[in-house]
Chains A and B, each alone.
Chain A
Amino acid sequence: MDKIKSIGWIIIVISAVAILYALIFNPAAWIVYAISLIFIPLFILSLGLISMAQGKKEDDEDKTKEPFIGY
């Protein structure tokens, strides 16, 4: 598993735990606001990091080294 996917899994677990904590234990309002502002966006971002497709390793060189010939 590559680095980006691993980061995605770590963030999704942390955000899910934080959101579930706020859902189950109903802490003070300011804690819920802080959890919402930080972990809802991070949860969505981590979903993206996990679900996004990644190019083949052998295409990497073409993408970075090849001069741009699109014009």
Chain B
Amino acid sequence: MNLMADILLNVTIAFLVGSVLFGIQRKVMARIQLRPGPPIIQHLLHTMKFFIKETVFPKTAAMPFYVVITVILCAIWVAAVIVGPVTQGPLLLLFAIFAIHKIVEHNAGSSSGSPYGKLSCVRAVFSAAAELPLFAVLIIIFLQTGTMQLSTIVAYQAEHGALIFTLPLAAMMFIALIISKSYYYSPLNITLAKDIVSGFETEHFGMLRGFIMISEAITWYMLLWVFLTVFFGALSPLMYLIGMVILTALIGAVNALTPILNPNHSVMTEITLAFIGIVGSIIMMFYI
């Protein structure tokens, strides 16, 4: 297939599937809390609605950075789609993209001029200290497979079996990372916690919010895609879809049943999980 067509197709799929998965997550959370919940396509409807809403650029915003940051957010996750489903390239690049995502959260908050955004911007730095060790899951995968290339990791699993069985603690670390990036009432996502309204997104409304929501849907799809590819190997599109729905429902249940942790507790929880995951995985690899 033509490379550009492949990229456009994968970005569109990532956006549409990611949006519907968010709907499923909200539905699961609502049913657990005995509410009917919004329709499954709510995220998609909201995204479209925001594109035709009135958009005002606040006087306190740092222009043009306030607008450009939304473009950067989208660009980095388009890059993730290229590194992931399109080329199955190096996993290390995905780590870099995730690190840039933290910088984007920081800058989106600081560029808005809102006190909530600024608080979220500080939290983005704070949480990076905890989330980046969780991403050290990549080192464990490298130690086990001897490669950072996604295509080779998939080939390794075709020969030796799915990594989820050999590296369960690393999978647990990655799940914690996905929970920390989950958008609806996550116990670990302190940058978007409801005590600071909508965190770094608070002052991005109207079509800029719609744009951010497109990037969020792609982010969610990509995080689940990476998890399934790294821990289960080559899957058919249907199996990817089933895997993503199950993971989203599980994370929805976690979010519905846990309190939103304050920043200190959230960071300590993530660092503890990272420590258990790294040390436990290394012990399992070399001594079991």
Query: Could you tell me which A residues sit within 8 Å of B by CB distance?
Result: 19, 22-23, 26, 29, 32-33, 35-38, 40-42, 44-45, 47-49, 51-55, 63-64
Contact = CB atoms under 8 A, between A and B. Distances in A.
A13 to B, nearest CB: 17
A18 B151 CA distance: 29
A53 B52 contact: yes
Given A40-B11, A40-B78, A52-B52, 6 more contacts: A26-B2, A38-B75, A40-B75, A45-B70, A48-B211, A51-B51
5 contacts: A19-B8, A23-B2, A41-B71, A44-B211, A48-B210
Interface string B1-17: 01111011001000000
Interface stretch (B36-44, B53-61, B240-248): B53-61
B285 to A, nearest CB: 35
Name, among B3, B5, B54, B70, the residue most crowded by chain A CB atoms within 10 Å (CB to CB): B3
Dominant SS among interface residues on chain A: helix
A49 B57 CA distance: 12
A48 B215 CA distance: 14
B212 to A, nearest CB: 11
Q: Which of A19, A32, A41, A42 has the most CB of B within 10 A?
A: A41
B74 interface: yes
A52 B206 contact: yes
Contacts of B79: 37
A44 B210 CA distance: 10
B68 to A, nearest CB: 9
B59 A32 contact: no
Interface string B59-97: 100000001001110110011001000000000000000
